[in-house]
């Protein structure tokens, strides 16, 4: 397994789909040696039910996730400078992360992950779109951090 960072922040647009999936999978597959959190550019949505469903298929529990924004993180005292790695899962999150961390010495990576919201007409088509996004995140994790535990 690759050297894991001490702390990782995953971020996307609303902290409702991609970044909670990444946070949950990182905790489940790589243990709790790494401090993992997630945030969004905005906090205007609750955790997405399709995200919860497709992560449950892997034994990753997301139902208790509470969405939060970068601004709320700062209000609650979570210092972005304390993270070793920020992984942006959307272009807007990458821009905001770079803007907020420009004075800090930490890595910001961009992982291009499909936004599954709004895709598919039937429940099964929607689930398939969310599975695709979930699997893209999982594959990027394996590429970046090595095989999971």
Task: Determine if the pTM surpasses 0.85.
Answer: yes
Pairing of strands 7-12, 35-40: parallel
Distance, CA of 138 to chain centre:
11
> Which helix or strand (DSSP H or E) is residue 54 part of?
helix 49-56
- Single out the residue of 45, 44, 25, 46 nearest to residue 36, CA to CA: 25
Whether residue 130 contacts residue 51, with contact meaning beta carbons closer than 8 Å, is answered with yes
Q: Which two tokens stand for residue 25?
A: 């999978």
- The helix/strand/coil state of 82 is helix
Cα distances (Å, whole numbers) of residue 61 to 53, 57, 64? 9, 9, 8
Which pLDDT score is estimated for 2? 61
Whether residue 145 contacts residue 2, with contact meaning beta carbons closer than 8 Å, is answered with yes
d(CA 17, CA 14): 7
d(CA 97, CA 41): 9
Structural domains in the chain plus CATH codes: 7-145 (3.40.50.2300)
Place of tokens 């429940």: 123
Which pLDDT score is estimated for 149? 58
Cα distances (Å, whole numbers) of residue 46 to 124, 127, 131? 21, 18, 19
* pLDDT values of the chain reduced to their tens digit, one per residue, 149 residues: 567 888 999 999 988 899 999 999 999 999 878 899 999 998 777 888 999 999 999 999 998 888 888 888 878 777 777 888 999 999 999 998 888 877 777 788 999 999 999 888 999 999 999 999 999 999 999 999 988 75
């Amino acid at each position: 397994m690759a050297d894991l960072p001490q702390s990782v922040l995953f971020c996307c647009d609303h902290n409702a789909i991609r970044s909670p999936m990444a946070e949950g999978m990182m905790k489940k597959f790589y243990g709790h040696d790494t401090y993992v959190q997630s945030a969004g550019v905005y906090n205007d949505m609750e955790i997405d039910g399709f995200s919860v469903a497709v992560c449950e298929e892997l034994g990753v529990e997301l139902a208790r996730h509470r969405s939060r924004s970068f601004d709320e993180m700062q209000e609650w005292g979570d210092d972005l400078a304390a993270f070793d790695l920020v992984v942006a899962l959307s272009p807007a999150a990458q821009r905001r992360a770079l803007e907020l961390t420009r004075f800090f010495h930490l890595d910001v990576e961009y992982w291009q992950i499909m936004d599954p919201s709004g895709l598919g007409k039937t429940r099964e088509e929607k689930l398939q779109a969310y599975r695709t996004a979930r699997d893209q995140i999982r594959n990027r994790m394996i590429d970046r951090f090595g095989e999971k535990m």
